[in-house]
Structure 1
Amino acid sequence: MKHLLLALMLTTAGTVLPPHAKAEQAPVVAQTPATVYYRSATVDGVKVFYREAGPAGGPVVLLLHGFPASSHMFRNLIPTLADRYRVIAPDYPGFGQSDAPDHTRFAYTFGHYADLVDGLLGQLGAKSYAMYVMDYGAPVGYRLALKHPERVTGLIVQNGNAYDEGLREFWDPIKAYWADGSAKSRDALSGLVTLPTTIFQYTDGVRDVSRISPDNWVHDQALLDRPGNKDIQLDLFYDYRTNVPLYPQFQAFFRERKPPTLIVWGKNDKIFPEEGAHPYLKDLPDAELHILDTGHFALEDKLDEMAPLIRGFLDKQVAKR
């Protein structure tokens, strides 16, 4: 009887839960992780590997990697976008899982890369796209933009250069090679494809190196160390000179087409330093600029800051275009 009266009193007065108890809540439904597909297509006789995720009919986001990486550098970003966007991230020939023909039989040039990416997108039916360009991805993407300016729905620029101000001291030995094309100047660049340099690219300028997975340089260096790959990379260092005369055309594209642009730049990067970020605003005054306290591969330690910026930009500027 006492128990019944106590129950009635609690019902009428309102139950007071003990401090350690929790009120019943609706169950939390976890978001289904995005499925990433690992595919290849043959473009002009070359196998081009690419990662793809997201709805087939979604707005396309093209992710263009830098040196010495591959689409692997986007492995953590892709799932944050793939619920709404069709994300395509290729590996250039000589990088990642794409073919790496002998450099004497294949033109390792940025113009060729742009043509191959263009061919891949044609096979995939991607008729318009926003581009994330980083490092080598900038000249590849901007050359693609010159081919099809009407297809570019937006730009996300991360340590990707299009201005003379962004080629500073790091580039002096490479410029010497551009100037004379000699075997001596070529050999002087051999250190750029070694493990210490690869580690440097991932860790220099990073405040908390414990946020950087060592898998990055183990993965990249294993691919750099493949027979013949050193010559592929040295060919590309030399061909980079052909991008610089195109800078005025890239800049004209920015001014004339005014693509919505988000710039997220690691300010401590010695390869493409902060000086290369600010000139974009001369040609794209409405661009959104964020300077981050990190180095070259900003996604590795600043994904938690960058993903919301990228997602917010795409949702606002690209999703409805």
Structure 2
Amino acid sequence: MVRIATFNLENLDDRPRGVIDFDDRLRVLRPQLQRLRADILCFQEINAHAQSKHGPRLLSGLDRLLEGTRYEGWHRVISLNRGGAHPSDLHNLVILSRHAPESHDQFWHDLVEPCQWRPTRTDPPSPSAMALEWDRPVLHAAFRLADGRSLHVINLHLRAPRAAWLHGQKESPGRWLSVAGWAEGFFMASVKQAGQALEVRLLVERLFDAEPDALIAVCGDFNATDREASLRIIRGDEEDIGNGHLAMRMLVPVERSLPESARFSVIHHGHPVLLDHIVVSRNLLGGFKAAELHNETLGDELVSPAAIVGPPESYHAPIVAEFEVTLA
């Protein structure tokens, strides 16, 4: 059996800002990790720091979190900055695994060029178009199975549906000067999210081209619910494609096996929503055993921070899926 999990740890950082106590975070998060009993974990929002001015950036917060757990010392695939030199300061992706991957890579405008957009609402007016680039890369790792096949795991964190910054259109963080400015910023953010989803789908297509029966799991924080555009782009449902010959290229959300009342990974202003997903190829679905959403302790991501001083938890629930395959 192989258990694959995804968990947005929300700014995991051993140098947290404000009144958050990192030791409190450790005590809350470690039992959640232990409960996952995962063989492969996809983490989002892992921060990194350089220990000296010219030293390497280290994921010291993650190191401390994993100390004394079953995951300490496991293999890691870590996202890098656009130059490919080192992790970013904020919001890195990590694939953690019991077994070493046979290969790994990241994709950041490697398959999709950034869209060009000339803003209409900047102040002063923009003289030229700007590139709408993704905020983060996508990680891919392949693991050898005992039967000689490969298991492909993709870790992603799509942009949140929050309006992108526009020069001269914001008075302060979160306070826009016009509805039109906010609307254009939201449009730009939507293009970024959909564009990165397209890059993920093209990566999936590349894997299917090389292995028609590929075992694929796309995991992470999609910042989208089941019927939103970015998730539909990645899934490639038969109803959207209209061609049964391509049905084997569809990706299926494993959370559909759970009762509808349990399908939520975030509570947003009193509304439970499912933003974190594991979507898999039909051949991997053939070995699917069960899915779990560990959302029993979730607080409201808008209400709880205002009510709790130094909240230690993540406001995302982890999801884990178990499959009848064996790592080599």
If asked which structure has higher relative contact order (CA below 8 Å, sep 6+), I would say 2
Report which of the two structures shows the higher radius of gyration computed on alpha carbons.
1
Instruction: Give yes or no for TM over 0.5.
Output: no
Of Structure 1 and Structure 2, the greater strand share is in 2
- When normalised by structure 2's length, the TM-score is 0.31
TM-score by length of 1: 0.31
